Amino acid sequence: MDSSIEFSEKAGRIKEIEQGTSISESLSSSYLHTIAQKLEHEYYPTGSTRFRYPVHLLLKLLIIKCFRKQSYARTIHLLTEEDCFHLGAQLGEDGYILPNSATLHYFVKYRLGVDGMKRLMHLVGEAILLWAQDEMVGIIDSTPIEASRYDKYAPFHPHYSVKMDKAHIFHLGPYPLAMVYSYGTDADPSHLLPLLKRVKALNPQLTNVLLDAGYDSFEAHAQVWYHLNARPCIDIREGAVLQNEGNVDRIRHWVNKLWRAGGDIHAPLAQQLRFLFQNGRVEQVG
């Protein structure tokens, strides 16, 4: 499976959506059609003559379902003729030809599945990087998500006074680029590395990454710098102290001590730091 997607240069930067524009009208982007073609290539058998609804139509219906927070049945049932026109649905003798709710549900849960949804979000991230090339600052933060009432095992968070899950989100400027899902009481730093790896796979060009004080540790500083090649800007915790292991003398000391593994004290500082990170000396890097 290819890790990247090629978008047409004619697509250009996505225009700002004016207030009052319906969600169906805003889904005419050529980026979305390119993503749909990629999903069709990867998740549908080639050469099949069996009738199927256009993938770009199913994808748009999925977006509408999530945006309007409706069930599959209500998503299809409440579509207007204007929605159908903007979605590009085929017009038949008895009106627009639309999939039923079971077809849309099958597309999401079985045709794509969990891996397909992750792949979809990765492709969306690649599209965001393409038309948001001026954005050079990343932001990492977490947000509470109220747990489903059917989830008997969701943990109760005393601060928010609710049973909840948590989404750890990486923003490229104002645009959400990647997310990691966790239990509501999990510590934010424990999910930082999986989030950074997802972002790294997109290969963004960053200068700084902003994080709140919940991430203040030398491990977090080192991981952001190493994986994203960006400067971590983390709020300082109350009562935080300076890590003496991170000064130049200690860096050179450990590089020299690991000379058998290839340490070179005459190498540029950034190269020495990468060497220490790869050899388990995160204290000096952070």
Domain ranges of the chain: 9-131, 135-239, 242-286
Determine the Cα–Cα distance for residues 201 and 190; give it in Å rounded to an integer. 19
Q: Is the whole model's pTM more than 0.75, yes or no?
A: yes
pLDDT digits (tens, 9 = 90+) for 201-216: 999 999 999 998 888 8
pLDDT digits (tens, 9 = 90+) for 229-283: 999 988 887 777 777 777 788 888 888 888 888 888 888 888 888 888 888 877 7
The residue assigned the tokens 């730091």 is 273
Tally Cβ neighbours within 10 Å of residue 19: 5
pLDDT digits (tens, 9 = 90+) for 98-150: 999 999 999 999 999 999 999 999 999 898 888 888 889 999 998 888 888 88
Determine the Cα–Cα distance for residues 280 and 232; give it in Å rounded to an integer. 19
Determine the Cα–Cα distance for residues 69 and 108; give it in Å rounded to an integer. 15
Determine the Cα–Cα distance for residues 93 and 136; give it in Å rounded to an integer. 51
* Fold of the domain built from segment(s) 135-239: Nucleotidyltransferase; domain 5 (3.30.420)
> In the structure, what pLDDT confidence band is assigned to residue 13 with cuts at 50, 70 and 90?
low
